[in-house]
Structure 1
Amino acid sequence: MDVQVAVVVSAAVVAALLGWLMPRWVARLPEPEPIDAEKTPYPELAATPGLTVRYAVAAAVVAGVLAAVLGPDARLLFLVPLSALGVALAQIDFRTRLLPKRLVLPAYPAMLVGLALAAVLRGELELITGGLLGGVIAWAIYWLLWRFTPGMGFGDVRLSGIVGMALGAFGWHTLGYGLYAAFVVGALGWIPLRLMGFTKDRHFAFGPFMLLGAVVGICLGALT
């Protein structure tokens, strides 16, 4: 089997398995306080018919696309798990406008481990520095948006550090592409969301667009 094909298949399979398991973790998430009567409980959300299959397929597609663009790149060590986590976070945020700390915060040490392993395998220790700086820059940008503009939730700030670390590991151009793409995709995405009645104002779940923007940024960075 061609190496490129093997990498794509392996990434897709691993991401699919992780995506398949994600609803179990979602079902165990504690409910936020204070309790919101209008929020869909996490166990109910996780029990949505066909959710495990949708998570698995979506995670496989994202990881497969990244692997096809990057090839046998050690940075897939953190991108593949992040693909499965990102799919779950995007769906949860879309349904509840929340990004659970129990899913986001553990991703930080996991990303650090992934960055370290990728840096060692590639022989590029500056990859760790790039990832950390990317995380700090992304976090600072989203913190400022949360602090001084309406509509941005602090969950987006927490997620931004993970997104920035992943993008920063690919360099400044990719970091810029990914952060900018999130706002472009978000602006374009608001229009159909508004027309379909998913939002009645400019307030909508931004996490899915942050994650999609990161995928776009990594692909653009690799192809340009």
Structure 2
Amino acid sequence: MSLLAVVGGAAVAGAGSRLVPRIIASVPEPEPELSAEPGQDPKEPYAAIAAVPGLAPWAALAGGAAGALLGAGLGVTWPLVVALVLVPVAIALAVIDWRTRLLPTRLIAPAYSVTVALVLATWLVGGLLDGGFDTTPLVRALVGWAGAGGLYLLLWLVHPRGMGYGDVRLSGVLGLVLGYAGWAELVVGVYGGFLLGGVLGGVLSLLRRVDRAGYPFGPFMLLGALVGLSAGRPVIDALLR
């Protein structure tokens, strides 16, 4: 474990995550017909979510913890750089989805662009510094994007009421980052989202903390990705023993 990666990851992600309220407040409200399903209460405005007392320090604490875990799992690597930049947006998406059951395209679309740009930029810089360009990380990133995105798209087509299309969009971003980090990270990160969503979602349903008929899946996808990036290799190694 690299102490520099852990401390640096916590500091960078924690500081960046203090911007979560601003990120949420910057999201425009959806069209009225998209803001709530029939029979549901009106969607909580993004401005009201951004103004929740204590959101900034709690987001910073969550971001710092996520950054430390990412640093411990990835070490001083280029995938760590990509993951740390996306932590504040991931927290903002988790908060929004948990409170509204929506994953706004206005956040996911820029996250796509930033992720692609970061993956390409870090790969190029790494290749220049190493004196050679290994295309394996890029191939893994593409496989992650196609595999995770394709899987969620198939699930959405089979049962659209069981999963929002925002989950499909988010899966592509997560697949890119997970694949760029490694095969083990990709497998554990994608599967972990389903496992955590099923187990923790079921527990929260029993405790009546979420609607048993349907609950936001985005936070579990993001948590699964965090597990994959921070512990993907040890998990796979333990399973293969």
Identify the residue that residue 78 of structure 1 maps to in structure 2. 82
Unmatched runs of 5 consecutive residues or more in structure 2: 128-133
* Map of 2:112 onto structure 1: 108
Tell whether 2:207 aligns with 1:193.
no
Equivalent positions of 1:51-90 (< 5 A) are 51-90=55-94
The percent identity for this pair of structures is: 40
Paired residues for 1:85-164 under 5 Å: 85-123=89-127, 124-149=134-159, 150-164=161-175
* 1:99–1:156 Cα contact (<8 Å) kept: yes
**Alignment correspondent of 1:178:** 189
SS of the equivalent of 1:75 reads helix
**CA distance, structure 1, for counterparts of residue 154 and residue 218 of structure 2:** 16
Larger mean CA deviation between 109-118 and 31-40 belongs to 31-40
Which deviates more from structure 2 when the two are superposed, residues 117-126 or residues 88-97? 117-126
RMSD: 1.7
> Do structure 1's residue 220 and structure 2's residue 225 form an aligned pair?
no
Distance 2:140 2:192 in 1: 19
Alignment TM-score, normalising by the size of structure 1: 0.92
Q: Distance in 2 between matches of 1:17 and 1:98?
A: 25
Kindly provide the amino acid, as one letter, of the partner of residue 166 in structure 1: V
Inter-partner Cα distance in structure 2 for 1:38 and 1:196? 24
Q: Distance in 1 between matches of 2:3 and 2:124?
A: 24
1:43 is aligned to 2:41: no
Could you tell me whether the CA contact under 8 Å between 2:19 and 2:88 is conserved in 1? no
Aligned residue number for residue 8 of structure 1: 6
Count of aligned residue pairs for this structure pair: 222
Deviation at 1:156, TM superposition (A): 0.1
- Deviation for aligned residue 1:90: 0.9
CA distance in 2: counterparts of 1:217 and 1:8, whole angstroms: 16
Residue 102 of structure 2 aligns to a residue in which SS?
coil
